[in-house]
Amino acid sequence: MHAVGSVPDGHHDLCDVLRAFQFDTPAAIRNDSIGTSAHRDYERHHRMPQQVQAIRRWWQDTPSSVRWVAYICLPLGVLTLGLGIYGDSHDWWDNRGFLTNLVSSLTSLLFGVPTALFVLSSLGDAQAQARERRRLQTSAEPEIRQLESLITQRFNVSGAHELQQRCIELLHDLRQAWERDEDPQPYQDRFNELVKVRDEQGQELTDAAAGRVHLAWLQELQAQWEVLDNDLRPRALEAGTEWVPALWSRHVREYLVRLANRDEDLRMKEHCEGLEQLAAVVRRLNALYR
């Protein structure tokens, strides 16, 4: 038995390799797209309120010099404010106009300086993030387009949307076939039909050529995923823009690693799930950056 991602003696194309896989148990088929209910429940019950997280991130991202000004000025401002209120209640300021103006001005200054610094710092951060978002948009769009192009190079689909839909439909039909105890071979044939077996000129690939084409495609796909996941994703998170959920990225990375490691236990159903996850990532990135 050979794994997809290897070139078995140069005599099998990708369809031949896929036909060698056996089906997994139906209990492993997911009814939804990506993610598990257990993971969602964990996040819902263990994450901090979003407002608290946002305040904490805002304070941590504020320059240390501004924070020190706040640490010094705000307590002194509270002190002078309390002094002014206490003095009013005891009629201290009736005949002390200059001192009254001095204390009130100092109180305003102690509150106004950190407030102004916070506002200016926030405006500067917002401008920097906006510039980084524009640069990220410029960088991400061609990389996402290249990833989708790799999908259409190796599969008989027009794009990520069609690949995802066909994988979802196949998994749904396969689950029903198992429930009815039907022969699963027709569904594996449907999956095999997704794979291109002809070159750009429309000529059918030989076994050796198909193996070389598939290996080169896999290497290119992994390299393109590394660009998106290791370069663009950290930049997007740093700029405060959306990206695909971390769970989606982890599923795709695990699938590509198993392909690269020539995992012989990787079955057709898992191939279909992995491709569906990859297509979902491409569609999400298209929605965000194209």
Q: Is residue 104 part of a domain?
A: no
Q: Is residue 245 part of a domain?
A: yes
Band (pLDDT 50/70/90 cuts) for residue 284 is very high
Chain segment 103-147, per-residue pLDDT in tens: 888 888 888 888 888 887 777 777 777 788 888 888 889 999 999
Q: Is residue 62 part of a domain?
A: no
Mean pLDDT of 187-211: 70
Q: Is residue 60 part of a domain?
A: no
Q: Is residue 190 part of a domain?
A: yes
173: left (phi over 0), alpha (psi -120 to 50) or beta: alpha
Of 84-98, 100-114, 214-228, 261-275, the range with the lowest mean pLDDT is 261-275
Q: Which domain range does residue 260 map to?
A: 14-47+132-289
Q: Is residue 182 part of a domain?
A: yes
Q: Is the pLDDT of residue 182 over 60?
A: yes
Q: With b meaning 16 or more CB within 10 Å and e meaning fewer, what string describes 70-85? A: beebeeebeebbeebe
Q: Is residue 218 part of a domain?
A: yes
* DSSP structure string for the chain: ---BTB-STT---HHHHHHTPPP--GGG--SSSS--HHHHHHHHHHSPPHHHHHHHHHHHHS-HHHHHHHHHHHHHHHHHHHHHHHHHHTTTTTT-HHHHHHHHHHHHHHHHHHHHHHHHHHHHHHHHHHHHHHHHHHHHHHHHHHHHHHHHHHBSSSSHHHHHHHHHHHHHHHHHHHHTT---HHHHHHHHTTB--B-TTSPBPPHHHHHHHHHHHHHHHHHHHHIIIIIIHHHHHHTT-----HHHHHHHHHHHHHHHTT-TT--HHHHHHHHHHHHHHHHHHHHHH-
Band (pLDDT 50/70/90 cuts) for residue 201 is low
Give pTM, 2 decimals.
0.57
Q: Is residue 75 part of a domain?
A: no
Q: Is the pLDDT of residue 24 over 50?
A: no
* Domains of the chain: total: 1
Mean pLDDT of 166-175: 88
